[in-house]
Amino acid sequence: MKPPSLQILSVQTAFGQNGWHCDLVEGREVVRASFSAHHTRIQIHAQSYTPINALAVVGETPMRIGKAQVPALLELLNRANHQLNLGAFEFDLDRHHLAFRITNIFERERYDSDIITSMVHCAIAELDRITPYAAIVQRTADAAIPKLDIKRLLAREDLIPPVPGDDDDTP
């Protein structure tokens, strides 16, 4: 079996520097970790594409959804993706997982720890942000789905989780 690449070892090191427990998947260029966010528990997979020095970070959370709600959920994710500059939301129809994926191409074999950290934070924050909106779609009765205004739902700010470290008392 081939030893892990410098690329995936740099990902493992970045996780360790942040105090994040992770597991290197044997025989693959993948690191896995779990995080508890405000609204959900998120599984992170960081996969290195060694030949092109690329790293994909994918955050996933399970979400069972009825057939009647699938079109509304896909519209929700599509509309949310239009507001993003980096990364994208996905829904795995077979596994019933809500996901956020972000990818970066690095200049060197040792990936920059700050960029890795930002990618993981972004995946967690975005997935945690979309989860309550997706949960509303998930809980909407089949008969009410055609009346669900996804654009208006995404405008609701009361569902956005608080930003860690933000205090209203700080100037």
Q: Which residue has the tokens 């509303």?
A: 136
pTM of the model: 0.90
Give the three-class secondary structure for 154.
Answer: helix
- Average pLDDT value over all residues in the chain: 92
Nearest partner of 43 among 24, 28, 57, 29, judged by Cα:
57
- pLDDT (tens digit per residue) in 64-109: 999 999 999 999 999 999 999 999 999 999 999 999 999 999 998 8
Read off the pLDDT of each residue in 22-49 and give the average, rounded to a whole number.
95
Share of the chain above pLDDT 70, in %: 95
Read off the pLDDT of each residue in 149-155 and give the average, rounded to a whole number.
95
- pLDDT at site 171: 39
- CA 22 → CA 29, 32, 66, 111, 151, distances in Å? 13, 5, 33, 17, 37
Give the three-class secondary structure for 77.
Answer: helix
Total residues found in the chain within this entry: 171
Residue 169 has pLDDT above 60, yes or no: no
Nearest partner of 131 among 15, 36, 30, judged by Cα:
36
- pLDDT at site 160: 78
Q: How far apart are CA 94 and CA 27, in angstroms?
A: 25
- pLDDT at site 167: 55
Q: How far apart are CA 28 and CA 30, in angstroms?
A: 5
Q: Check if the beta carbon of residue 41 is closer than 8 Å to that of residue 131.
A: no
Q: How far apart are the first and last CA of the chain?
A: 55
Q: How far apart are CA 65 and CA 76, in angstroms?
A: 13
What domains are there in the chain, each with its CATH number?
6-154 (3.30.1460.10)
Per-residue pLDDT band for 170 (boundaries 50, 70, 90) equals: very low
Residue 34 has pLDDT above 50, yes or no: yes
- pLDDT at site 110: 87
- pLDDT at site 164: 65
Read off the pLDDT of each residue in 9-16 and give the average, rounded to a whole number.
96
- Contacts with 72 (C-beta within 8 Å, 6 or more apart), sequence order: 137, 140, 145, 148, 150
Q: Which residue has the higher pLDDT, 43 or 1?
A: 43
